[in-house]
């Protein structure tokens, strides 16, 4: 067991390699994208994604291993061989069933060694440690120098500079920057996929996560109370966003006109209108392509 990250291994040699990867500063970088790896074997497996060795014939997505490709194909066939013996819900992968089962048992086996918070999934624990307890940002954008904690976040960020749209519709010529945009397009225009419908108001969503957040609006339990007014909220994040209404602190700044805003969504909406007024001729637009979220001192 690694005492630093509460992670277990089947062999002492694997643990030694894991410890080495956590202490050394050298990274193995992919020449095709922005991803970096701690060991050459991981990089070698990753290169299969670019070589299209394991490519899905349905959607064109590439994978590192054949097993990952076979599991992915179940999303096209609809095969879900794993069933929950409590509620009957079915899953395409056994790990997803194991995680789901913790909803019924309330089990949270993964404990953070730094703040004693518990999690139902190891990935949630690692994400918690990375974002809450670790300030290291090893991934840097080569175009603007911005640093990131996670390689996937850097990959998404780079699309802002390159205007890359890697997601294409197989029914028409439309292309998209984000997978969610393609998913919504397929549902609305080609009736492909599954809508997630709210039982309370029949509103439809493209993902189960969006439906879950929406369902809080219909709930009677709102444990988070604003200290400035009587309003109550279902989630801590909703309360935190609301509290900006009572504050004069404006932490976000538009890089085009230097106007300040309380929340990120406001400056993003403003930036779209501001860039249209400038006609796309402002030098910042060709460099960053998005609002520069400067935090006020």
**Least confident residue range of 125-134, 135-144, 184-193:** 125-134
Is the pLDDT at 21 greater than 60? The verdict is: no
Instruction: Looking at the structure, tell me whether residues 201 and 242 fall in a common domain.
Output: no
**What is the DSSP secondary-structure string of the chain?**
-BTTTTB--SSHHHHHHHHHHHH----EE-SSSS-EESSHHHHHHHHHHHHTSEE-TTT--EESSHHHHHHHTHHHH----EE-TTT--EESSHHHHHHHHHHHH----EE-TTT--EESSHHHHHHHIIIII-----EE-TTT--EESSHHHHHHHHHHHH----EE-SSSS-EESSHHHHHHHHHHHH--S--EE-TTT--EESSHHHHHHHHGGG-S---EE-SSSS-EESSHHHHHHHGGGG-----EE-TTT--EESSHHHHHHHHHHHHHHHTT-SHHHHHT-S---PPP-
Instruction: Looking at the structure, tell me whether residues 202 and 192 fall in a common domain.
Output: yes
Is the pLDDT at 211 greater than 60? The verdict is: yes
Which among 201, 218, 235 is the end of a domain? 218
Question: Does residue 117 lie in a domain region?
Answer: yes
Average pLDDT of the residues in 111-118? 83
Can you give the pLDDT at residue 3?
65
Instruction: Looking at the structure, tell me whether residues 213 and 225 fall in a common domain.
Output: no
Find the CATH number of the domain harbouring 228: 3.30.160
Residue 110: give the domain boundaries.
Answer: 80-133
Is the pLDDT at 219 greater than 50? The verdict is: yes
Average pLDDT of the residues in 283-297? 42
Can you give the pLDDT at residue 284?
40
Is the pLDDT at 296 greater than 50? The verdict is: no
Domain total in the chain = 4
- Name residues whose C-beta falls within 8 Å of residue 156's C-beta, 6 or more positions apart in sequence: 178
Provide the mean pLDDT of the chain. 77
Band of pLDDT at residue 49, cut at 50, 70 and 90: confident
Can you give the pLDDT at residue 289?
41
Instruction: Looking at the structure, tell me whether residues 241 and 257 fall in a common domain.
Output: no
What's the predicted TM-score (pTM) here? Answer: 0.41
Average pLDDT of the residues in 95-101? 85
Can you give the pLDDT at residue 141?
85
Question: Does residue 39 lie in a domain region?
Answer: no
């Amino acid at each position: 067991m690694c005492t630093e990250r509460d992670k277990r291994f089947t062999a002492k040699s694997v643990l030694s390699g894991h410890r080495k990867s956590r202490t050394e500063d050298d990274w193995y970088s992919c020449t095709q994208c922005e991803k970096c790896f701690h060991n050459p074997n991981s990089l070698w497996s990753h290169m299969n994604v670019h070589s299209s060795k394991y490519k899905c014939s349905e959607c064109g997505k590439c994978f590192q291993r054949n097993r990952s490709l076979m599991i992915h194909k179940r999303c096209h066939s609809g095969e879900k061989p794993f069933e929950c013996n409590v509620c009957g819900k079915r899953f395409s992968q056994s790990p997803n069933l194991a995680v789901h089962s913790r909803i019924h048992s309330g089990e949270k086996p993964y404990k953070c060694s730094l703040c004693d918070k518990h999690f139902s999934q190891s990935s949630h624990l690692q994400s918690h440690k990375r974002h809450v307890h670790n300030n290291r940002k090893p991934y840097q954008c080569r175009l603007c120098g911005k640093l990131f904690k996670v390689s996937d976040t850097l990959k998404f960020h780079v699309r802002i500079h390159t205007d890359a749209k890697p997601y294409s519709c197989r029914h028409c010529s439309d292309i998209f920057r984000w997978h969610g945009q393609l998913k919504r397009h397929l549902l609305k225009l080609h009736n492909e996929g599954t809508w997630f419908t709210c039982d309370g108001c029949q509103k439809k969503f493209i993902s189960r996560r969006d439906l879950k957040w929406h369902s809080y609006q219909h709930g009677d339990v709102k444990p988070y109370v604003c200290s400035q007014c009587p309003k109550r909220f279902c989630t801590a994040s909703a309360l935190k966003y609301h509290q900006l209404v009572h504050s004069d602190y404006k932490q976000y700044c538009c890089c085009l006109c230097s106007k300040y805003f309380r929340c990120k969504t406001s400056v993003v909406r403003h930036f779209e209108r501001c860039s249209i007024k400038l006609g796309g001729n402002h030098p910042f637009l060709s460099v960053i392509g998005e609002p520069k979220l400067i935090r006020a001192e």
